[in-house]
C-alpha cells in the first residue's frame, strides 16, 4: 500500500508527516511533500497525523486529486 500526498498540502506543508514516518520516506518538494513509493511501508502513520487530510492510500485518492499520483511518482524520477 503506497500513500500519496495531495493538494491540501500545497501552501500548508506541515511537517507532522515527516516527523512520524518510521522509514524517512517523505521528502520536501518546492510546493509540497512527497512520499517515495519505493521506501513507503504503508504503515499509515503519516495520514493519521496530517492536519489538512492531504495523505491518501493510492487506491483511495479522491478523483479531483488523481493527478497527484503521477506528480508524486515523477518527483522521484529525477
Q: What's the length of the chain?
A: 78
pLDDT band at 3 (very low <50, low <70, confident <90, very high): very high
Q: What is the pLDDT of residues 30-46, one digit of tens each?
A: 999 999 999 999 999 99
Domains and CATH numbers, the chain: 3-75 (3.30.70.20)
**Whole-prediction pTM:** 0.93
Residue 1: what pLDDT?
67
CA 50 to each of CA 12, 24, 26: distance values in angstroms, whole numbers, following the listed order: 10, 15, 12
- Helix (H), strand (E) at residue 67: helix 67-75
Say how far apart CA 62 and CA 6 lie, in whole Å: 9
Mean pLDDT of 61-70: 97
Q: What is the pLDDT of residues 14-34, one digit of tens each?
A: 999 999 999 999 999 999 999
CA 36 to each of CA 63, 65: distance values in angstroms, whole numbers, following the listed order: 21, 18
Amino acid at each position: 500500500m503506497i500513500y500519496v500526498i495531495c493538494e491540501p498540502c500545497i501552501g500548508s506543508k506541515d511537517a507532522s508527516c515527516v516527523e512520524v514516518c518510521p522509514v524517512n520516506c517523505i521528502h520536501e518538494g518546492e510546493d509540497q511533500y512527497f512520499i517515495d513509493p519505493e521506501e513507503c511501508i504503508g504503515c499509515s502513520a503519516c495520514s493519521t497525523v496530517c492536519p489538512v487530510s492531504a495523505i491518501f492510500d493510492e487506491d483511495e485518492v479522491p478523483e479531483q486529486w488523481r493527478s497527484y499520483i503521477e506528480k508524486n511518482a515523477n518527483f522521484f524520477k529525477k
